Amino acid sequence: LKTQPVLTEAPFSVYPNPSHDRVNIIAPPGQVSVIDVMGRTIIEAYLPEGKAELDLTGLNPGIYLVRSIVQGDVRQVKLYVY
């Protein structure tokens, strides 16, 4: 018999969403990026504790992706900036 590894779902949340000047991110410790609709990385941050507050001032209103990549596991969520 083969056994399947048990995958645990680590939290990944971005709030408030929509946001204007700051956003809180909870994700597994690792690299987090904010990417615009053209695919350009606008903000990169490392979350050593799995939590961070990112400053969004200077970003144009629109839709962005917040992407977390940890050990090959890619998660992303749309972020609405107004």
pLDDT of residue 9: 65
Whether the CB-CB separation of 50 and 29 falls below 8 Å is answered with: yes
pTM of the model: 0.84
C-alpha 27: how far from chain center: 7
pLDDT of residue 35: 98
Which structure tokens are listed for 70?
């940890």
The predicted model gives 68-72 an average pLDDT of 87
pLDDT of residue 36: 98
Over residues 7-62, the pLDDT tens digits come to: 556 789 999 999 999 999 999 999 999 999 999 999 999 998 889 999 999 999 99
pLDDT of residue 71: 84
DSSP codes of every residue in 6-49: PPP----EEESSSBSSEEEEE-SSEEEEEE-TTS-EEEEEEESS
